[in-house]
């Protein structure tokens, strides 16, 4: 049963966004090659119910390990839309969508309901959990934008960002950020080269990501690659292709094997 929105959370999201100097945010976003980091943007009234949903989501974590690239746990949109009303309130917030559009200048939409990545939680809970450098490659016809929201930060892990990596004319600028609860990061998926450094002993880090695209169309070949990436690197085959998912195994063609893994490493 899909969850209903939470009006107090929606109102607090709108209020937090209304406090921003949008011209300044937009200028910084563009000066940083379509990347911005807003420290503790959202208050406790927004973050606390989401942290409760992080706790509830633990039962549904899918752990995965791709040698030399990533190790960690994920909970997909399929699960969140059934049991995470505060998180879904943010993803479906008209005020938040308007904010993304105004900062990026792009006519973005939410991803299709069939995309398990549309809105997902990433759990770094075991020593060494990490993800290596990558772009958030778009498998859609349109441009992909990623929002990352910190929810639990009890770690020495850092979101390391290399700005201007895609521009040979510019010097790369590296940032190492702690994603504290309520801290928001927004970036163009093809422009930000980024990673999460390994978790230490007795540490924990949980973040939420939201995905937006300018055109949700996808070619059959890219749908196949995207499905396999999500199944192998994130949510598991049962979640992506099973009863709760809306994708079918027949969406994927045979022969993925190592090629799929290689491409998965380029993904999020």
Residues in the site for Fe ion, rule: CB under 5 A? Answer: 136, 268
Residue 159 CB, shortest distance to Fe ion, in Å, is: 9
Query: CA-CA distance, 59 to 55, in Å (whole number)?
Result: 8
Residue nearest to Fe ion (CB): 268
Cβ-based nearer residue to Fe ion, 10 or 121: 121
Residue 258 CB, shortest distance to Fe ion, in Å, is: 22
Query: CA-CA distance, 249 to 32, in Å (whole number)?
Result: 40
Query: CA-CA distance, 17 to 41, in Å (whole number)?
Result: 8
Cβ-based nearer residue to Fe ion, 9 or 184: 184
Cβ-based nearer residue to Fe ion, 90 or 147: 147
Specify the 3-state DSSP secondary structure of 177: strand
Query: CA-CA distance, 25 to 18, in Å (whole number)?
Result: 12
Cβ-based nearer residue to Fe ion, 34 or 136: 136
Terminal Cα distance for the chain, rounded:
28
Cβ-based nearer residue to Fe ion, 46 or 148: 148
Residue 268 CB, shortest distance to Fe ion, in Å, is: 4
43 φ/ψ sector (left φ>0, alpha ψ -120 to 50, else beta): beta
Is residue 29 within 8 Å of 36, Cβ to Cβ?
yes
Pick from 98, 32, 74, 43: which is nearest to 229 by CA?
Answer: 74
Among the residues of the chain, which ranges form H helices?
7-18, 22-31, 44-57, 77-83, 85-91, 94-104, 220-229, 237-241, 257-264
Is residue 92 within 8 Å of 109, Cβ to Cβ?
no
Residue 195 CB, shortest distance to Fe ion, in Å, is: 8
Residue 146 CB, shortest distance to Fe ion, in Å, is: 6
Cβ-based nearer residue to Fe ion, 16 or 147: 147
Residue 250 CB, shortest distance to Fe ion, in Å, is: 28
Query: CA-CA distance, 202 to 241, in Å (whole number)?
Result: 34
Residue 121 CB, shortest distance to Fe ion, in Å, is: 14
Cβ-based nearer residue to Fe ion, 6 or 212: 212
């Amino acid at each position: 049963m899909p969850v209903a929105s939470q009006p107090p959370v929606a109102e607090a999201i709108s209020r937090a966004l209304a406090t921003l100097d949008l011209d300044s945010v937009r200028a910084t976003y563009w000066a940083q090659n379509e990347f911005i980091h807003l420290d503790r943007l959202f208050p406790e009234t927004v973050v606390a119910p989401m942290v409760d949903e992080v706790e509830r989501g633990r039962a549904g974590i899918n752990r995965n390990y791709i040698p030399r690239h990533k190790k960690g746990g994920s909970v997909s949109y399929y699960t969140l839309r059934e049991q995470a009303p505060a998180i879904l309130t943010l993803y479906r917030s008209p005020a938040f969508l308007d904010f993304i559009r105004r900062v990026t200048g792009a006519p973005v939409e939410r991803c299709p309901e069939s995309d398990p990545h549309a809105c997902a939680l990433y759990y770094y809970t075991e020593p060494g959990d990490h993800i290596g450098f990558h772009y958030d490659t778009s498998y859609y016809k349109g441009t992909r934008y990623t929002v990352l929201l910190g929810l639990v930060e009890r770690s020495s892990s850092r979101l390391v960002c290399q700005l201007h990596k895609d521009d040979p004319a510019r010097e790369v600028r590296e940032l190492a950020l702690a994603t504290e609860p309520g801290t928001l990061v927004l970036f163009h998926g093809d422009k930000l080269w980024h990673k999460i450094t390994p978790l230490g002993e007795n540490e924990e880090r949980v973040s939420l990501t939201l995905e937006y695209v300018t055109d949700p169309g996808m070619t059959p070949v890219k749908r196949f690659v995207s499905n396999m990436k999500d199944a192998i690197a994130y949510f598991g085959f049962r979640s992506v292709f099973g009863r709760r998912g809306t994708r079918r195994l027949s969406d994927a063609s045979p022969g993925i094997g190592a090629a799929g893994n290689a491409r998965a490493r380029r993904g999020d």
